[in-house]
Structure 1
């Protein structure tokens, strides 16, 4: 039984790693793709945007389908789509085909909430926090591995972006096989049906929200397209709430969605996703700034930036994940989340004050990596304690989307900051813009402390809601 639990956790952690690996692997090679396909930088930015939008639409829907029709078949189906998306991307010789492949890869984001729902069904309560922490920790680890592997696979003068997607296709096939073998066939199913109107309105709202966030720096933040999308997103959000209040079995139970532990855990997810992507992107840009031209930076190649400046923090996430699980078991998710915010604030503050030398940049990245890993360990435990089993998949899906929204905001904010003030006669940001960006990251981590300490404070005796009390049943054991 113990061995089955370990193999299940390992298989699901490997599958979850692919989620952020797919999201970040294309970031370092956008320029290479633009050159090879003879496309503009603006057009090629859709390579990352298409993945993001597909994730927003399908993650909550597939989480709900896992709750209704079984986690294992849904998870295997999502992994199969990830394989197809990777192969299509690897074979693409035009931007249109590549965007189709990347959108299919975006569906893989649903792997994470489905993996957590499987753990909740099959792992004993005494080991659940640790297992969830390991699977969650691979999200941060996978993001770093995506950047590092891309740097390694595209080094040299004859770099080919296709090999990056073949690499992901191979990993997806391995994850599919491991999941098919390790996940028990029996799975709890719950009566109900897919709320199609709710899925369409929620998906439309998320697309209209994320589209201007991801493209705002290109379109202009006050352009008609950007403001129009935001206005339409508000309309669809209202329509989604009205729809969910009227249908008998909604996609997202709004009482669960606004339940205090779930609401503030999702807020923390947004803040942590924001901080993680801001750190990844900021350090990557900073390390590649040519010092001779700008007076700061390290003039690193993509490969060196990934391996020397980002990989240590990525490895720290992997090491910290099981430690975070142990801390959740001892201290509770609320205090581990607060600790992650404190550690992250220290890491970003260090980075803001000392980023003119390699050592503090690397070490502060390690500190931030530990903070992110602790947060990823805490959030699934908080969600599991806040929702009943039959809402586990969709609840973790919404939490996953909150991190995706945060990552998009992080990308948009740092891009806006780094293009806001340029050096004279150079298209490079002033050093103070990096300092400002890192202080913004520190602020996001500090806000996480407030969300944990104030937003997640225990309810008064006798004030426990039905949503919370229905989540206390222990999961079944493996085997």
Structure 2
């Protein structure tokens, strides 16, 4: 099936006139992936600064930044890839970069908590640009497009995560919050112009199609309800069950309606292709592992042991910048993982790749569950977990792309991206709940931090998510065999 889709795409590509250079397309795609991931992960080191500068009384107010960022991202992952299919890659990428720019400009001008919330929502929507290169690289590079696009996505994600954490630390030490958003606005403006100039303006990949307004709004609503529960569930308590139930029920009803719709947002038949549903679930689980690991590391590393009572003392006492450097092995092994997964996935051996990525991630998490009180422990753990997660991401995004023809690359990207957003929100919520289970006071302040033993529990929980990948692909493979056996019989 993948060979048929790629050949069809290659033949259509020759009628579009002069194509931009390979290096140009890869360069702008890499910029988009690195920038959008850096924006997301630059926030953790800035949270104490934001809380102090805007006089926020509770941590719950600070977490709303992540909530609106995630909600904006959920909408962006649904709309922007589909916009690329129907109205052209350049238009979709320019729109995404423009949202990032305006999102940074709003708090740069307003310099207040309300404007920061608005800015985070806009930047979250534009952050869906991180997956758009999957579409225009596949369409622009012919048969090698999927391989290159997934490599750019996986490697750029790893680099962007670490660049964001290091950048956040540098900002805390050298710039004011408002100055940071001014700089980010300038970077976003350059990216917008580069997207317009460098991404080819080609005829829409899917002719005659249109975005189903009702189905799109409906999907954004139920995805947002689930993400809202995952990001604010601890603050709302039992009340969080209301949007969760609404989201689940709304999602089930949406799937039933979309299956019969002539203008579906996503091709529901895509999810019936072999291992596609399992791949999307695996993307969610790897994203949850990724988010859980990053939150556990950034929290533990910046706690100052001397600030706690001797009986409660733990932490590495690192600065935000030092914590970012501690994550460097994570980015380095992210580069390797995509290359390892490419050949076996394209040869149909996706199950062993998923299992390998999951077991490697689980091994790194088990290591940190047992040893996480020295800096070198994290250097080792970050390298192992980065390798496992990158293998898993590469397998998941590649398989979903192989399941659709070139003209629907954006639609497939949107499906995988939505599962990615849910995974990050779930991993963050899971670890937040774990670290809130038992708190110890910081003497002389009104602050409280998690009890030390909860970090080991958090790593074991993240390891269980990694092992759930193995269960997911084995169950999916077994069901496929039964279905095939039934058809043969």
Using the size of structure 2 for normalisation, the TM-score is 0.86
Question: Which residue number corresponds to residue 295 of structure 1?
Answer: 313
User: SS state of the match for residue 190, structure 1?
Assistant: coil
Question: Which residue number corresponds to residue 184 of structure 2?
Answer: 168
Where in structure 2 are there 5+ consecutive unaligned residues?
1-17
1:77 paired residue among 95, 102, 113: 95
Q: Report the alpha carbon displacement of residue 312 of structure 1 after superposing the two structures with TM.
A: 2.8
| Aligned pairs (5 A) from 1:38-437 | 38-40=55-57, 41-126=59-144, 128-155=146-173, 160-187=176-203, 188-220=205-237, 223-224=238-239, 226-292=240-306, 293=308, 294-307=312-325, 309-325=326-342, 328-329=345-346, 332-423=349-440, 427-437=448-458
Q: Report the alpha carbon displacement of residue 134 of structure 1 after superposing the two structures with TM.
A: 2.2
Question: Which residue number corresponds to residue 446 of structure 1?
Answer: 467
Query: More deviation in 179-188 or 359-368?
Result: 179-188
1:4 paired residue among 7, 21, 35: 21
RMSD of aligned residue pairs (Cα, Å): 2.6
257 and 462 in structure 1: CA distance in 2 versus 1, 3 angstrom threshold: closer
User: SS state of the match for residue 285, structure 1?
Assistant: helix
Verify the 8 A CA contact 1:79 1:172 in the aligned structure 2. yes
Q: Report the alpha carbon displacement of residue 21 of structure 1 after superposing the two structures with TM.
A: 1.7
Q: Report the alpha carbon displacement of residue 330 of structure 1 after superposing the two structures with TM.
A: 6.3
Q: Report the alpha carbon displacement of residue 67 of structure 1 after superposing the two structures with TM.
A: 1.2
CA distance in 2, matches of 1:239, 1:21: 36
Question: Which residue number corresponds to residue 8 of structure 2?
Answer: none
CA distance in 1, matches of 2:442, 2:52: 25
Using the size of structure 1 for normalisation, the TM-score is 0.88
Q: Report the alpha carbon displacement of residue 34 of structure 1 after superposing the two structures with TM.
A: 2.1
358 and 164 in structure 1: CA distance in 2 versus 1, 3 angstrom threshold: same
CA distance in 1, matches of 2:348, 2:260: 40
Question: Which residue number corresponds to residue 15 of structure 2?
Answer: none
Verify the 8 A CA contact 1:131 1:325 in the aligned structure 2. no
Deviations 1:54-74, CA, capped at 9 Å, x for gaps:
111232122222111112221
CA distance in 1, matches of 2:193, 2:353: 34
CA distance in 2, matches of 1:208, 1:202: 10
User: SS state of the match for residue 132, structure 2?
Assistant: helix
Question: Which residue number corresponds to residue 477 of structure 1?
Answer: none
Deviations 1:289-316, CA, capped at 9 Å, x for gaps:
2223233221112222222x22332233
Verify the 8 A CA contact 1:333 1:381 in the aligned structure 2. no
CA distance in 2, matches of 1:456, 1:304: 43
Q: Report the alpha carbon displacement of residue 463 of structure 1 after superposing the two structures with TM.
A: 5.3
Question: Which residue number corresponds to residue 14 of structure 1?
Answer: 31
Q: Report the alpha carbon displacement of residue 257 of structure 1 after superposing the two structures with TM.
A: 3.0
267 and 62 in structure 1: CA distance in 2 versus 1, 3 angstrom threshold: same
User: SS state of the match for residue 450, structure 2?
Assistant: coil
Counting matched residue pairs gives 458
Q: Report the alpha carbon displacement of residue 320 of structure 1 after superposing the two structures with TM.
A: 4.1
Deviations 1:363-407, CA, capped at 9 Å, x for gaps:
111111111222222222101122233332122112112111111
CA distance in 2, matches of 1:430, 1:39: 24
CA distance in 1, matches of 2:275, 2:191: 32
